[in-house]
Amino acid sequence: MADTDDRLKALAIQFSRLAPEAQRAVYQRMTSQGLRIGQFPVVARPHPEEARTRASYAQERQWFLWKLDPTARAYHISTVQRLSGRLDADTIEAAFRLLIQRHSQLGVVFEADEAGTVWQRRGDVPDQVVHRQDFSGFAEADRHARLQQAVSVLQGTPFDLEAGPLLRVGLFRLAADEHVLVVVMHHIICDERSLAVLMAEFGMAYAAVHDTPAGDLPAGSVTGDDSADRVFAGNDPSSDERLPAGSGQRVSDDPSMPFGPLPLQYEDYAVWQRQWLEAGEAEHQLEYWKSRLGEVQPVLQLPTDFPREAGVRYRAARQHVVLPAELAADIRALCRREGVTAFMVLLAALNVLLYRLTGEQDIRIGVPNANRNRVETENIVGFFVNTQVIRCVLDGGRSLRDVLQQVREAALGAQSHQDLPFEQLVSALNPERVSADNPLFQVMYNHASEEGGATGFRLGEVVIDDYPLPGGELDAQFELTVTGQELPGGGFDVSFTYAQALFRAETVKRLLDQYVLLLAAFCRPGMVRTGDVGLLADEDRERVVAWEKSPSLPHAPVPIHVLFERQASAAPERVALQLQTATGTFASLRYGELNRLANGIAHALCAEGVGPGMRIGLVAVRAFAQIAGMLAILKAGAAYVPLDVNQPAERLLFQIRDSGLSRILVEPALRARMPAWPADAPAPALMPLVLPDHADGDTGTGPDVSVRPPSVCPGAVHPDSVAYVMYTSGSTGMPKGVEVQHQGISRLVQQPNYAQFGTATRMLQFAPFTFDASTLEIWGTLCNGGTLVQAPDGLLSLQALAQFIAAGEINTAWFT
């Protein structure tokens, strides 16, 4: 085994010294023999004496994000620790200086050349690494307020990647035997594992410096090579061989020190990774990811409490819960029973939560992979972590056990193809960007094992523990990040970090509670289906039961055109619709008139064979005819399918075919804009939608359908009948048709507890009728006796919108 390892290392060294063309040839030969990148160790870069080194792929992306917004704080990694006991501040300063010598990444800065290539080089070490402040002389309340402010400044001040330093350390004295230590780094030089490595080595460096006789240390500092050698020595038989200056590596002959020199630096890994990937490994791993993720990369739109704003940086907030001990034990038992890990269980539960929350079946979650599967990278400070996309396809009938096994398979496959940088995956798949959404996924799951925390270091007799501070001091990387932390004794701490400008705290608390319920459901025996898991907490269930017994429940659902007809019968002279004409005045259509017009069109549809269970397309501009056409189709017993002729022809054709339309009701002025139908398929019949000349407050031609009999053509329509089929935007691929039943709309608009609808309502119809927000605007108004004021197309500016609202005396609007 040792001989094999030596041969692989020798081969890796030879490979690193070849020209790129030769590396590609050798790679092809090695892979043809069954060798893979995972078998080869990381080796030192061929020219460590060079002044600068190419940034890694992950660092290049961080540089790009920083250039986009140099003031962003989402990628600051920090820890705040309380140190209780006597300690020496000068020794802390000396220890961190030694760490900067040991780990080259702690002292690097970045720059880009004229071609845009990003480089890293050693920067200047500041005269004082540890920023110190003494708050011990203040009263307790003032002391902690000053501490919180100081820590906030240290954590929140943006880093300058070009000037550095990219490591900040603060030591705040609260009393003679109580201090707070803050360490902050930019993600471009570290990851969470690096923070744990740094703090563990800090404890050893502190002890080593503390125990070294003062006469053996250089006056005023400990930055000389000899002192570093004494602290970071080891038993490496080659330790007497000095390494090139500037390599960031130190050696010593003294075997009594805590640990040996670093044989590698992160810069070595960056060069090694780039060589292997460019030789052909990137193409090999990309084949797997393309197959796994497919051609269409959907965007998961979480329902938020507040609207998203483009280009806005969101502050982060966090809520967490420690799982009950019994549930934690059940999760461990489930892992043993199903051959999975706790990571897989918690990730599977998050998939189901997102499916139940959004209704989307194709769920993609970003998962950071430590990417330290090689022993030589375990204790190096650097940005090793690589983000992977775990895909899971769900439906309500799939069992939780099936979901868990699907996640297991996806996680193992991702682990076997973890070397492809996320940045290259994004570039290859080139997903369609929707506003500021993160590419490929919108929700992150991070799993932290028990070992390796930032508190895993010792300072003699000093007691160390986390020192949490209130408030969200950093920016949110994603709208939602879920973290599962394994605790000593087998427990779990689950936290939800979220953009507090998008979600209310109570909403996130409810999601956290539902997540815990899902975890418990995974642990139950039997084939529990994803759609059958109850997500109501006990108090919420009691509230629902109380609602069911309440006499103020909404009326039983009825078809929405029946609700409209009740209003038309009760007050036929009340104004139902208003539309601004070319002269600026408002034309009106009363409930009785609108009902008669819709009845006339419905009779014409019935005469053409339209009846219950059918779907009829509708192409109309925002005007009286549009509403009359919708009502007519419903009165005929069919479901309307709103169509937008402004969208691409192929998308419109897809919607017509997908919804199975045999007839489309079209305004004559829009008929010429209908796409040409393929010759190899029967075309749907186009039926003209025409109102009398006076009906739309403008001009028009056609028979006066209002003279038709007022009764609706026969046809049974029930509350569970489909009222309309509406298609999603298709921004994540092909549009998806969603069937909406009468009873759903009826429940939405009858006696709503979220808004006031009535005869005094003057509602703005602003949304296109192809957008689901129009459901509330149109039917919330017409089913409650209000007036729907139809906004003209092209109302783009806030000023124009405000003027129209004032002119139309609008008192209710719904924007989403």
- The CATH class, in words, for 76-223+284-300+312-553 is alpha beta
**Sheet order of strands, 167-175 included:** 130-134, 167-175, 178-186, 76-84, 463-466
- pLDDT tens, position by position, 300-314: 888 888 877 766 778
Secondary structure element (H or E) that encloses residue 465, with its range: strand 463-466
pLDDT reported for residue 456? 59
Listed as ranges, residues in the chain with pLDDT below 50 are: 215, 217-257, 435, 471-472, 694-711
Strand locations in 126-220 (E): 130-134, 167-175, 178-186
From the list 656, 589, 658, the residue with the least C-alpha distance to 626 is 589
Output Rg (C-alpha) for the chain, integer angstroms. Answer: 33
Domain residue spans in the chain? 76-223+284-300+312-553, 560-807
In terms of C-beta density within 10 A (0-12 exposed, 13-18 middle, 19 or more buried), how is residue 555 classed?
exposed
CATH 3.40.50.12780 matches 560-807: yes
Question: Cis ω on the peptide bond leading into residue 488 (within 30° of 0)?
Answer: no
* pLDDT at residue 98, as a whole number: 92
Whole-number pLDDT of residue 434: 52
Q: What's residue 120's pLDDT?
A: 96
Same fold, 76-223+284-300+312-553 and 560-807: no
Spacing of C-alpha 348 from chain mean position = 16
Cβ-defined contacts of 682-685 (< 8 Å, 24+): 684/617, 684/656, 685/608
- Model pLDDT, residue 702: 36
CA distance 147 to 153: 10
CA distance 448 to 580: 60
Q: How many contiguous H segments (helices) and E segments (strands) does the chain have?
A: 22, 24
pLDDT of 696: 46
Distance CA(210)–CA(214), nearest Å, equals: 9
Question: How do strand 586-590 and strand 492-499 relate by DSSP bridges?
Answer: unpaired
The pTM for the full model equals 0.64
pLDDT for the residue numbered 229: 37
pLDDT given at position 251? 32
Kindly list the distances between the CA atom of residue 209 and the CA atoms of 58, 83, 181, 213, 704, in Å, as whole numbers in the listed order.
Answer: 34, 18, 18, 8, 97
